């Protein structure tokens, strides 16, 4: 089990240690592991050992819990960095102009196959985003103990609400029949099987389990892996690629823009989940048995099979600019990079990304007039001046 590196606390300036600060008229001295302040006849003793104990007691699970959700002293810097990135990427669905989408939707601009892709996207994600948000809230965030990890997880939940908002914006703008939307996630077998698969183990974890037991730690790790790496990291991406392929053809650009923003959010959710798994395993090596590692690989394999069934339903045959084979390969490619990201063996022989342009959608920086159009890469203005998290220890 790893040992946390304790921070070096700042040394008091010599003039203060000696006695009087002439500006504040405060007597400051060190007594062993205490700093003692005397001001206006009152004395305050600050225990530096307690500060060190607080950071040493931080864990992903089963660690020190503070009632005030205080992130200080900050231990998990990468989680805080991801949180800041998520916050900087904030967006709102109702700023997306759907005028062109409405015109195309109510004309002959789209083929029946293209309309089907949009309808499947709305039908699946209207259920899937809610599954993710509910699972992160009641399964993941609830069981994390370090405040900065809970803080990042709460941001994840907030973004799922934004994604749900975007679907309502699409449905309302295009006047899509709500009964048909509901029927898709209830009655289309491939959608229902995907949702049932990922939710199978959630009820037990929502009830609260003893995470000091290895088997329960493994259940939690599997749920974390399932939501962030299997569902968000693998089962979302092929449909994203289909809708953004239409966007590249200048079709349904408002929806495409919302899916760009959503895809960028998902990349942060995947990174946060990966970090949590890595840290949890480092702190709890009893979790990472050969049998459990194989269980996760098998879980991903099932997720891939279900996703490929769904891809075949969304794109039963090739259409303009879209090859079913490429989307099936993309499922394998994403599954393998999620597995490799947490140190697990890969499943397929697909080594090349068939949609390199899709990564550019997430990471490429562009310059446009913010008031004329909003692009995938916009960030809040304050994000460039965020203080270094090292300063917050």
Largest CA distance in the chain: 83
Contacts of 112 (CB under 8 A, 6+ apart): none
Could you report the average pLDDT of every consecutive run of 10 residues in the chain (393 residues)?
46 48 69 88 88 87 82 91 95 95 96 95 93 95 94 97 96 92 90 93 86 97 97 96 95 96 95 98 98 98 98 91 94 98 96 88 49 46 42 38
| Dist CA 228 CA 239 (whole Å) | 16
Buried b (16+ CB within 10 A) or exposed e, 192-224: eebbebbeebbeebeeeeebeeeebbbbbbbbb
pLDDT at position 32, please? 86
Q: What is the pLDDT of residue 247?
A: 95
CA gap 167, 9 in Å, rounded: 49
Q: For position 393, what pLDDT does the model report? A: 39
Domains by residue range for the chain, with CATH: 14-56 (no CATH), 78-392 (1.10.620.20)
pLDDT at 376: 44
Q: What is the pTM of this model?
A: 0.85
Closest Cα partner for 127 from 51, 205, 194? 194
Q: How many other CB atoms sit within 10 Å of the CB of residue 83?
A: 23
């Amino acid at each position: 089990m790893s040992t946390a590196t304790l921070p070096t606390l700042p040394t008091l300036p010599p003039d203060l240690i000696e006695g009087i600060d002439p500006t504040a008229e405060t007597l400051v001295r060190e007594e062993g592991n205490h700093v003692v302040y005397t001001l206006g006849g009152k004395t305050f003793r600050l225990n530096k050992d307690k500060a060190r104990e607080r950071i040493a007691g931080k864990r992903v699970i089963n660690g020190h819990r503070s009632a005030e959700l205080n992130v200080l002293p900050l231990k998990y810097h990468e989680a805080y960095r991801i949180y800041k990135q998520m916050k900087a990427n904030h967006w709102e669905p109702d700023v997306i102009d759907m005028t062109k989408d409405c015109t195309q939707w109510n004309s002959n601009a789209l083929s029946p196959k293209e309309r089907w892709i949009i309808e499947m996207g709305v039908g699946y994600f209207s259920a899937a985003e809610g599954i993710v948000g509910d699972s992160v809230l009641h399964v993941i965030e609830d069981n994390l103990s370090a405040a900065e990890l809970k803080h990042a997880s709460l941001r994840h939940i907030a973004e799922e609400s934004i994604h749900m908002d975007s679907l309502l914006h699409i449905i309302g703008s295009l006047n899509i029949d709500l009964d048909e939307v509901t029927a898709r996630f209830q009655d289309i077998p491939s959608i229902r099987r995907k949702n049932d698969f990922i939710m199978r183990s959630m009820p037990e974890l929502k009830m609260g389990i003893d995470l000091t037991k290895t088997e329960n730690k493994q259940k939690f790790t599997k749920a974390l892996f399932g939501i962030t790496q299997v569902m968000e990291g693998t089962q979302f991406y092929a449909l994203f690629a289909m809708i953004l392929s239409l966007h590249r053809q200048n079709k349904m650009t408002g929806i495409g823009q919302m899916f760009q923003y959503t895809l960028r959010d998902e990349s942060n959710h995947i990174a946060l989940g990966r970090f949590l798994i890595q840290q949890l395993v480092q702190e709890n090596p009893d979790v990472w048995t050969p049998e459990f590692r194989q269980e996760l690989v098998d879980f991903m394999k099932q997720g891939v099979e279900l996703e490929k069934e769904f891809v075949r339903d969304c794109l039963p045959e090739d259409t303009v600019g879209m090859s079913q084979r490429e989307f099936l390969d993309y499922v394998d490619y994403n599954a393998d990079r999620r597995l490799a990201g947490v140190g697990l063996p890969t499943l397929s022989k697909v080594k090349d990304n068939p949609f390199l342009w899709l990564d550019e959608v997430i990471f490429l920086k562009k310059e446009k007039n913010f008031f004329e159009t909003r692009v995938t890469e916009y960030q809040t203005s304050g994000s460039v001046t965020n203080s270094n998290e090292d300063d917050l220890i």
